[in-house]
Amino acid sequence: MLRFVKGLAPGFLIAMPQLGDPNFHKSVILMIEHGDGGAMGLVVNRASNLTLRDLARGQEIKVARPIEAQPVMVGGPVEPQRGFILHDSEAVAERHEVLPGLYLSVTLDALEPLLSQGTARLRFCLGYSGWAPKQLEKEISAGAWLFTEAAGDQVLVGEPDKMWDGTLRGMGVDPAMLLPAAGIH
Domains of the chain, CATH where assigned = 11-177 (3.40.1740.10)
Q: What is the pLDDT of residue 3?
A: 42
Average pLDDT per consecutive 10 residues, the chain (185 residues; last block may be shorter): 60 92 95 94 96 88 86 97 95 94 93 87 96 93 92 91 94 85 48
The answer to pTM > 0.75 is: yes
Q: What is the pLDDT of residue 60?
A: 83
The separation between the first and the last C-alpha atoms of the chain, rounded to the nearest angstrom, is 35
Strand 28-35, strand 11-15: pairing: antiparallel
46: helix, strand or coil: coil
Distance CA 107, CA 1 (A): 12
CA atoms within 13 A on the CB side of 135: 9
For residue 10, whether the previous peptide bond is cis, meaning omega lies within 30 degrees of 0, is yes
Please answer whether residues 47 and 72 qualify as being in contact, where contact means their C-beta atoms are separated by less than 8 angstroms.
Answer: yes
84 Cβ contact partners less than 8 Å away, ≥ 6 residues apart: 42, 75, 104, 105, 106, 124, 125, 126, 128
Q: What is the pLDDT of residue 123?
A: 95
